[in-house]
């Protein structure tokens, strides 16, 4: 039998009596172990009553800990969970742990590490007093790699607490870690030291992690010799290296490139991050590495075979790259065609990528696929694919005909939600190509009764107002909508008011419209409470009664040309997001500053090798070298680790959110 | 990195957790089920938690929730920083696989049975929130507790009995493999029989339209090595030159040689970490010291323009006034008559709740699977160039659901099959040389070729 029978909630007092009963019996150790497990289980499920039992637990630890490592482990675990609330009692366990360390340090790496880890997570002065010398001892070169790794993490864990207590010892520990970077041969230990230092520097205002070029090359070369997670850590630390010349950056890319083929997805993505980052420092990177697009696309294809969650994160990063550096990839759009059983969020993301990858050449294939999705049963998927077709019509002029004929095809079935969604995209299409797709308008107007959802209604009303003179039924329809105006949501009311006035200024002598305008204005000004609506009505009223000759220019100005170029992200945002591959920011597709208030955003640091090249268009490989090379002002107040170099600047906040919203289909 | 890792049951209640950084209050995890519902991209939030429509990364109050689902469990990591979220998710994925290895099946019951060993594993696999080891073989060598699997009989969980005597001395000592250069193999392995089995397995994913044209296709190949070899054996694997050249081009990223139509276009060549990449590129040799037991030596992807559908499907459905359906499927084995496929399974989607199906068919067996809403047409074996037909008559429930009647026709037919003795990419194993410099024993390599369907070998219907 397993331990699941122990999974019951127990009262602390019951456990206490149980313990006292067993005290006298023989074989009490077996019973006490069972009781300990019960305590830990209650702790696991979040029942904190067992906190009261701390002295019992420390007793079990000192009685049975030396012989049974499972008991020792569970007791340690208990202590790290509850020391905050029972500091006094926790102190009783300290001699045991120190003794545990002393007896095991030569013989058992695992026990030694366990002792160090436990002490590092208990932040009481006495514990720290004992721990610091232990750490200093454990970080020495002759100690085994596993212990040194654990000790490195322990330094990171206690660093902030210890800073207040004994800054001097903190300096010593820090220097030990720093020395490890340079002198250590065991790559997995180096990676632990790097992780620890990064942890420390990220939380500190005065410390910075920087890596010089010799060291960066050494790190990259050590990748072969260490385990998968050490590789992840080393790869991400390469982002702290600022290449001063093209050669080093190119060399590093060359070294890192094979890791795009790794089995561990995390290594793949971190290698990708390094490659993208370093590509900023290599002039004409695609001429130097013609393999890049193929390698990266291959890596992406492999990530798409992983479980859904990983696929999703990987694809978010693909979007990121597509927004700024599509030239770095050579993706086959068919990779992103939806499988029938993909989860909704996967389908969503795939649609976004299909939208971004669509171009004139593959449009037939894309439209056929999107049309397939638009015939699915899942309403959300249908709406999203229609939205995508509409957006494509606006994005690529040459294919607008094809897109619109697909849309026209779709509404011919008169399925309500299809018509509604087409109504929404039609507004932008009509704006972009005035006069070109009147037949789409007619198809919609014929099915206007099917439209009930507010957003679609608003859209169709806008169309009726804007093109009233070319739609024969427009007045009749506007009138019909006006009859129920007060029951509509405000958004629709505003749109309707404007549409009626627009129709009127276009056909000022139409009696029917004149009446409609009068009634509507009266109705709105008298019967509505919404200030915006009422004021807009008054505004129109005055404008019309002033009989200005140019009223039409105010009410129905010539539409601004729909500019699709605004979809592009500002270079600053792209730069920042590019450095965020694999992080949370890449998943939310928002700059760091918007997600994390206190985190310093990363920027590319200027160096003689930094080039700004255009990787936007897949064909053009233009480049602009930065004209001036600014001299870096070194911030002298800060303590530098390794070589001096990093400057992190704060970036202002952007409206990325809006742009992303525009790009992504309706959520 | 991660601050805390939780295992939650299907209602979002914690089963156990390991805190690594202590910077997130326990109230955060209590919010998780609520967040799942709120952020569900499935507009109507009434649905159950398990519909899988919520993205795997959520945030609320400055805490980021990164999770994945496994059976009826949520495995969740919380963090406050803009850390490497992707790495955390990959770690969770590896964590699931490691625990599956230990517990045979990772579910609520087995977590409870083995909470103590899971804590030990969590402790070893992550330090201060940074992933450390997720390699099962290495972990198994120094996690000493035995797991309690749901099937086995009682054994005290603290017992340190282990099969074989060599490991006993190493108890609770980290194996040299953790920090060694050859981290995938410990020294001093001895086997009675020295054998190595190579399986070349290619899975074909294909999406085919109703006109039997291929919309997309991909071959995923893998060379699996299962070896019981003593000592530190040096292996060299030889492949046919054409495939090898294409591999090297793929690794170097050179454009595929396209002088003949029959050239092979290999992509994404991936090796197990034991393969010496340098030698591969410079000497065109796949040389390595394999890990003991099983490993995926080599994987690749092939785009083949000459690939044809393995089976041609003809599909017709007739609706008799919404009371009765007639589905006709014709399958033709589109390969040479001397080849045959085994275990062909055709899943034909049908509406939910159909009644008393009647079949007419001339080969195989037919079965209605109500919980999948498919009719499964199974062939033990099908020879090349043969053609078979089946007709299924189904009675529809009296209250016919229009939506349902449309829905089932959007689901593609799924095919599964297996073919032995050849692979479609053109890969051939020429030799596998085994040499152990110190022991010089005799050893026997075996090679097998298998072509089978991937998860998505699908045929759309109209």
Q: What is the mean pLDDT of residues B242-271?
A: 72
Q: What's residue A595's pLDDT?
A: 59
Query: How does pLDDT run across B336-375, given as a tens digit for each residue?
Result: 888 889 999 999 998 888 888 889 888 889 999 988 889 9
CB contact under 8 A, B82 and A70: no
Calculated CA dihedral for residues A525, A530, A536, A538, nearest 10 degrees? 30
Examine residue A522 and state whether it is found in any structural domain, yes or no: yes
Calculated CA dihedral for residues A246, A248, A250, A253, nearest 10 degrees? -140
CB contact under 8 A, B84 and A301: no
Pairing of strands B63-70, B57-60: antiparallel
**Interior CA angle at A233 toward A633 and A80, to 5°?**
105
Spatial distance between the Cα atoms of A604 and A517, rounded to a whole number of angstroms: 58
SS3 B16: strand
Query: How does pLDDT run across A501-511, given as a tens digit for each residue?
Result: 988 888 888 88
CA-based nearest distance A645→chain B, Å: 22
Q: A27 in contact with B at a CB cutoff of 8 Å?
A: no
Whether A300 and A275 have beta carbons less than 8 Å apart is answered as no
Residue B167 has pLDDT above 50, yes or no: no
Size of interface A-B (CB pairs under 8 A): 266
The yes/no answer to whether this complex scores an ipTM above 0.85 is no
Q: Lowest-confidence range among A164-168, A603-607, B40-44, B56-60?
A: B40-44
Q: A33 in contact with B at a CB cutoff of 8 Å?
A: yes
Spatial distance between the Cα atoms of B436 and A603, rounded to a whole number of angstroms: 52
Binning pLDDT at 50, 70 and 90, where does residue B41 land? low
Which residue from B82, B407, B458 is facing A592, i.e. has the nearest CB? B82
Interface of A with B in 356-375 (CB under 8 A): 372, 375
Q: B182 in contact with A at a CB cutoff of 8 Å?
A: no
CA-based nearest distance A509→chain B, Å: 46
CA-based nearest distance A157→chain B, Å: 7
Per-residue H/E/C for A150-201:
HHHHHHHHHHHHHHHHCHHHHHHHHHHHHHHHHHCCCHHHHHHHHHHHHHHH
Quick one: DSSP state of residue A412?
T
Q: What is the mean pLDDT of residues B57-82?
A: 88
Domains located in chain B, CATH noted: 4-142 (3.30.450.60), 195-306+427-444 (2.60.40.1170), 311-420 (2.60.40.1170)
Average confidence score pLDDT of chain B: 81
CB contact under 8 A, B112 and A2: yes
Interface of A with B in 254-293 (CB under 8 A): 257-258, 261-266, 269-270, 289-292
Q: A376 in contact with B at a CB cutoff of 8 Å?
A: yes
Whether B308 and B287 have beta carbons less than 8 Å apart is answered as no
Q: A154 in contact with B at a CB cutoff of 8 Å?
A: yes
Interface of A with B in 471-530 (CB under 8 A): none
Binning pLDDT at 50, 70 and 90, where does residue B145 land? low
Q: What's residue B171's pLDDT?
A: 37
Query: How does pLDDT run across B375-427, given as a tens digit for each residue?
Result: 999 999 999 889 999 999 988 877 767 777 777 888 899 999 999 888 888 88
DSSP A634-655: P-TTSEE-SSS-----------
- Taking 50 as the pLDDT cut, the residues of chain A under it are 1, 566, 619-667
Examine residue A488 and state whether it is found in any structural domain, yes or no: yes
Residue A462's domain spans which residues? Answer: 435-558
Q: How many residues does chain A have?
A: 667
Closest chain B residue to the Cα of A289, Cα to Cα? B253
Q: How many structural domains is chain A composed of? A: 1
C-alpha closest to that of B118 among B129, B103, B104: B103
Inter-axis angle of helices A187-203 and A167-183, nearest 10: 140
CB contact under 8 A, B207 and A232: no
CB within 8 Å of B454: residues ≥ 6 apart: B203, B204, B205, B206, B218, B220
CB contact under 8 A, B127 and A199: no
Q: A549 in contact with B at a CB cutoff of 8 Å?
A: no
Whether A355 and A388 have beta carbons less than 8 Å apart is answered as yes
Residue B179 has pLDDT above 80, yes or no: no
Binning pLDDT at 50, 70 and 90, where does residue B44 land? very low
Chain B contact probe: residue of A7, A42, A44, A289 with most B CBs at under 10 A = A44
> Terminus-to-terminus CA distance in chain B, angstroms?
49
Buried b (16+ CB within 10 A) or exposed e, B8-36: beeebebbbbbbbbeebeeebbebbbebb
- Copy the structure tokens of residue B409: 């026709």
Examine residue A497 and state whether it is found in any structural domain, yes or no: yes
Q: What's residue B96's pLDDT?
A: 93
Examine residue A462 and state whether it is found in any structural domain, yes or no: yes
Interface of B with A in 70-129 (CB under 8 A): 79, 81-87, 89-91, 93-94, 109-110, 112-116, 119-120, 123, 127-128
Calculated CA dihedral for residues A367, A371, A372, A375, nearest 10 degrees? 170
Q: What is the mean pLDDT of residues B154-172?
A: 36
Q: A148 in contact with B at a CB cutoff of 8 Å?
A: no
CB contact under 8 A, A3 and B144: no
Query: How does pLDDT run across B79-102, given as a tens digit for each residue?
Result: 987 678 899 999 999 999 999 888
Residue B325 has pLDDT above 80, yes or no: yes
Interface of A with B in 607-646 (CB under 8 A): none
Pairing of strands B324-333, B355-361: unpaired
Q: Which residue has the tokens 């893998």?
A: B222
């Amino acid at each position: 039998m397993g331990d699941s029978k122990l999974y019951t909630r127990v009262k602390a007092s019951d456990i206490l009596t149980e313990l006292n009963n067993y005290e006298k019996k023989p074989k009490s150790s077996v019973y006490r172990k069972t009781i300990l497990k019960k305590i830990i289980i209650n702790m696991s499920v979040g029942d904190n009553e067992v906190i009261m039992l701390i002295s019992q637990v420390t007793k079990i630890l000192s009685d049975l800990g030396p012989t049974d490592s499972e008991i020792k482990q569970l007791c340690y675990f208990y202590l790290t969970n509850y020391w905050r609330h029972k500091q006094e009692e926790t102190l009783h366990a300290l001699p045991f742990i120190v003794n545990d360390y002393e007896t095991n340090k030569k013989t058992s790496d695992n026990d030694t590490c366990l002792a160090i880890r436990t002490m590092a997570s208990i932040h009481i002065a006495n514990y720290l007093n004992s721990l610091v010398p232990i750490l200093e001892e454990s970080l020495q070169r002759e100690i085994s790699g596993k212990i040194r790794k654990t000790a490195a993490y322990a330094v990171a864990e206690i660093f902030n607490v210890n800073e207040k207590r004994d800054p001097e010892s903190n300096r010593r520990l820090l220097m030990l870690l720093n020395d490890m970077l340079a002198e250590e041969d065991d790559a997995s230990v180096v990676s632990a030291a790097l992780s620890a230092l990064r942890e420390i520097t990220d939380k500190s205002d005065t410390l910075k992690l920087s890596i010089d070029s010799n060291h960066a090359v050494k790190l990259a070369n050590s990748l072969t010799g260490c385990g998968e997670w050490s590789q992840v850590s080393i790869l991400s630390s390469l982002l702290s290296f600022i290449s001063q010349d093209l050669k080093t950056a190119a060399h590093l890319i060359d070294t890192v490139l094979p890791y795009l083929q790794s089995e561990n997805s995390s290594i793949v993505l971190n290698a990708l991050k390094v490659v993208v980052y370093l590509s900023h420092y290599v002039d004409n990177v695609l001429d130097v590495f013609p393999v890049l697009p193929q390698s990266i696309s291959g890596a992406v294809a492999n990530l798409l075979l992983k479980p859904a969650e990983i696929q999703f994160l990987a694809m978010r990063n693909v979007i990121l790259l597509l927004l700024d550096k599509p030239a770095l990839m050579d993706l086959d759009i068919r990779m992103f065609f939806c499988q029938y059983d993909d989860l909704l969020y996967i389908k969503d993301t795939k649609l976004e990528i299909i939208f971004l990858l669509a171009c004139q050449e593959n449009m037939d294939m894309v439209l056929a696929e999107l049309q397939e999705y638009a015939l699915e049963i899942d309403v959300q998927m249908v709406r999203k694919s229609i939205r995508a077709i509409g957006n494509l019509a606006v994005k690529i002029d040459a294919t607008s005909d094809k897109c619109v004929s697909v849309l026209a095809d779709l509404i011919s079935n008169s399925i309500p939600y299809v018509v509604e969604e087409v109504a929404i995209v039609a507004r932008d299409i009509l704006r972009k190509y005035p006069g070109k797709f009147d037949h789409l308008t007619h198809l919609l107007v014929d099915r206007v009764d099917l439209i009930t959802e507010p957003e679609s209604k608003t859209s169709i009303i806008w169309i009726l107002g804007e093109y009233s003179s070319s739609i024969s039924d427009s007045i009749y329809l506007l009138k019909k909508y006006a009859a129920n105006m007060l029951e509509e949501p405000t958004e629709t009311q505003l749109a309707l008011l404007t549409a009626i006035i627009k129709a009127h200024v276009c056909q000022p002598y139409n009696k029917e419209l004149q009446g409609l305008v009068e009634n509507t204005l009266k109705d709105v000004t008298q019967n509505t409470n919404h200030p915006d609506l009422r004021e807009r009505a008054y505004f129109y009223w005055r404008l019309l009664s002033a009989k200005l000759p140019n009223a039409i220019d105010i009410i129905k100005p010539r539409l601004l040309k729909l500019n699709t170029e605004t979809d592009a992200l500002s270079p600053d945002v792209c730069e920042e997001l590019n450095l965020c591959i694999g992080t949370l920011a890449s998943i939310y597709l928002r700059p760091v500053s918007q997600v994390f208030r206190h985190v310093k955003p990363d920027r590319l640091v200027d160096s003689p090798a930094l080039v700004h090249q255009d990787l936007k268009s897949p064909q053009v490989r233009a480049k602009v070298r930065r004209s001036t090379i600014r001299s870096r002002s070194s911030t002298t107040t800060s303590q530098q680790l390794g070589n001096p170099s990093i400057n992190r600047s704060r970036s202002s906040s952007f409206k990325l959110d809006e742009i992303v919203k525009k790009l992504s289909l309706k959520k | 990195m991660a601050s805390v890792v939780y295992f939650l049951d299907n209602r979002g209640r914690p089963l156990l957790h390991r805190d690594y950084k202590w910077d997130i209050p326990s109230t955060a995890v209590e919010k998780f089920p609520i967040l799942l519902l709120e952020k569900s991209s499935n507009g109507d939030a009434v649905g159950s938690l398990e519909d899988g429509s919520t993205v795997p990364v959520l945030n609320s109050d400055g805490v980021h929730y990164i999770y994945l689902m496994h059976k009826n469990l949520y495995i969740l990591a919380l963090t406050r920083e803009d850390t490497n979220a992707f790495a955390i998710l990959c770690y969770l994925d590896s964590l699931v696989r490691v625990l599956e290895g230990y517990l045979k099946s990772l579910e609520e019951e087995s977590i409870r049975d083995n909470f103590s060993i899971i804590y030990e594993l969590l402790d070893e696999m992550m330090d201060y929130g940074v992933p450390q080891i997720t390699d099962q073989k290495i972990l198994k060598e120094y996690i000493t507790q035995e797991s309690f699997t749901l099937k086995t009989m009682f054994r005290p969980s603290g017992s340190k009995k282990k099969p074989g005597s060599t490991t006993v001395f190493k108890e609770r000592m980290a194996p040299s493999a953790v920090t060694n250069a050859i981290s995938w193999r410990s020294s001093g392995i001895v086997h009675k029989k020295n054998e190595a089995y190579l399986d070349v397995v290619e899975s074909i994913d294909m999406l085919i339209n109703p006109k039997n044209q291929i919309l997309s296709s991909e071959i995923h190949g893998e060379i699996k090595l299962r070896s019981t070899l003593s000592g530190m054996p040096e292996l060299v694997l030889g492949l046919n030159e054409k495939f090898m050249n294409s591999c090297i081009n793929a690794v170097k990223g050179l454009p595929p040689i396209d002088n003949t139509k029959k050239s092979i276009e290999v992509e994404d060549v991936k090796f197990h970490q034991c393969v010496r990449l340098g030698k591969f590129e410079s000497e065109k040799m796949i040389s390595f010291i394999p890990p003991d037991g099983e490993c995926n030596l080599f994987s690749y992807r092939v785009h083949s323009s000459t690939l044809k559908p393995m089976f041609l499907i003809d599909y017709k459905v007739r609706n008799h006034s919404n009371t009765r359906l007639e589905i006709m499927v014709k399958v033709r084995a589109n390969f040479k008559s001397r080849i045959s496929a085994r275990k062909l399974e055709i899943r034909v989607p049908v509406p939910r709740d159909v009644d008393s199906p009647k079949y007419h068919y001339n080969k195989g067996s037919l079965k209605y699977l109500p919980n999948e809403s498919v009719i499964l047409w199974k062939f033990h074996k099908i020879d090349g160039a043969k053609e078979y037909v089946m007709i299924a008559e189904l009675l529809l429930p009296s209250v016919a659901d229009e939506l349902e009647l449309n829905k089932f026709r959007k689901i593609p037919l799924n095919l599964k099959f297996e073919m032995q003795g050849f692979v479609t990419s053109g890969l051939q194993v020429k030799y596998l040389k085994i040499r152990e410099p110190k022991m010089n024993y005799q050893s026997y390599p075996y090679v097998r070729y298998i072509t089978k369907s991937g998860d998505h070998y699908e045929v759309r219907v109209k």
